[in-house]
Amino acid sequence: MLKRTLTAAVLAVAPFAVAAVPQASAFCGFYVGKADTSLFNEASQVILARDGRRTTLSMMNDYKGELTDFALVVPVPVVLKRDDVRVIEKKTFDRLDAYSAPRLAEYFDDDPCAPRPVPAPMASAARDGVKRRGADALGVKVEDSFSVGEYDIVILSAKESDGLETWLVQNGYRIPAGAAPALKPYILQGMKFFVAKVNLKAQAKTGSQFLRPLQFSFDSEKFMLPMRLGMINATGPQDLIVYVLTRQGRVESANYRTMKLPANMDLPTYLRDGKQFTDFYKTMFDQQARRENYKAVFTEYFWDMSWCDPCAADPLSRDELLAAGVTWLPDNAQVQGRRPMPPSSASPVMLTRLHLRYTPASFPEDLVLQETKDRQNFQARYVLRHPWRGSRNACQAAAEYLDGLRQRRDREAQILANLTGWDINDIRRRQSRAPVVTPR
């Protein structure tokens, strides 16, 4: 069964997150607003670029309420300076998402009667399947305040959580009830607070309806994400996607179990059509997360940033990596353009994509991360094998092929049923109605 054509359908974060997580708050820090404001926040997305003690954290903003009500509070290990804070474009997230998203690879069976052709070089026919988506008394000290892009930023240090809560309320930040107890552990650990509001004038100048992602850098031993603050008002499970860019190898959690999603299996070919693959992935992820009681961190992708196979999207260019916070690229790094084949020398950038679905009870501690020296590639890749369509009487091999095909289709149906909990009979019905797809 030779690889002939290879296409990749890719699952971007946002479309499935909408359905999977109808209501959630920000992963770290919290968005604040009036009670009647819709605060829908899709799967939170974060980029962490880390080299030694240097960490750059970028946070995607899916805030949909009134801009006047927007506020973001994030605990940070050190006092951030003006130069440490930037506004980046949403497309950096879109590119990382597209490049690392779970993918569907499609293959066509050979004519069993034809002589075996010499294996063709790996086709680079992958298409980008993703659309671009687009105060002293209180013990609070204002360490710094400045504006960056459409945001007014204040860096605070605090001695008491009650004082910090009062300060935030007095200064027009609406803090969810129960914020003080959640803030306390961060204060006692000596952490500072990065607080952002929208500057409406600056926002009007950008001409965009969306708030751009905020990015800041700092030096700290702490390699963690302060998730707990975002759970104050959470009711159901929340989703978080973390793109970690490192120099050495795969990143995993040090205080929760990190596991790879079931992947690289053959699935019924009808998943190719419409939203079927998206539905499959959503359901499968949901099943896996529930099976682990929302206590696991799932690895969806880990690969050297300079190549991919199959490519769901082009690897990020040098400029895109710089925008994502990668500071350790050598001057002559060859990271431009698509490279479906392994590069001769290893890229200095490794991408780990982690997907968490958590509840306040299942993740009682902030997520602590560690970089391992593991460099074995992994991707959430699912395979469709389109059968050869021919007559049983064409040759002896054809009859054997068609007998084997029946077993294969049954195996594919079983796997799909196990992964999703879908009714096997329904799967078989759909299998039998699957349209014929011919190689291009």
To the nearest whole angstrom, how small is the minimum distance from the Cβ of residue 258 to another protein? 6
Cβ of residue 23: shortest distance to another protein, in angstroms? 23
Largest CA distance in the chain: 90
Residue 292 found at the interface with another protein (CB under 8 A) = yes
Q: 67 or 259: whose CB is closer to another protein?
A: 259
Q: Is the peptide bond before 310 cis (omega within 30 degrees of 0)?
A: yes
Considering only 110, 128, 314, 374, the residue that binds another protein (CB under 8 A) is 374
Residue 110 CB, nearest distance to another protein (Å)?
32
392: left (phi over 0), alpha (psi -120 to 50) or beta: alpha
Does the protein bind another protein through residue 184 (CB under 8 A)?
yes
Rounded to 5°, angle at Cα 201 from 200 and 203: 60
* Strand partners of residue 51: 54
Structure tokens at 38: 């819709």
What Cα–Cα distance (Å) separates residue 363 from each residue in 31, 228, 335? 19, 8, 36
Task: Characterize 349-373 residue by residue with b for buried, 16 or more Cβ atoms within 10 angstroms of its Cβ, and e for exposed.
Answer: bbbbbbbbbbbbebbeebbebebee
Q: Could you say whether residue 346 binds another protein (CB under 8 A)? A: no
Min. distance of Cβ 297 from another protein in angstroms? 8
Options 41-49, 122-130, 221-229, 389-397: segment touching another protein (CB under 8 A): 221-229
Interface with another protein, residue 347, by CB under 8 A: no
Least separation in angstroms between CB 217 and another protein: 17
388 to 1, 90, 223, 272, 401: CA distances (angstroms): 10, 43, 51, 17, 9
Q: How many positions of this chain bind another protein (CB under 8 A)? A: 35
Residues 143-182, mask of contacts with another protein (x by CB under 8 A): ------------------x-------------------x-
Question: CB of 294: closest distance to another protein in angstroms?
Answer: 11
**Contact assessment for residue 13 and residue 228, using Cβ atoms and an 8 Å cutoff:** no
Nearer to another protein, 40 or 294 (CB): 294
Q: What is the contact surface with another protein in residues (CB under 8 A)?
A: 161, 181, 184-185, 188-189, 220-224, 249, 252-260, 292, 295-297, 361, 364-365, 368, 370, 372-376
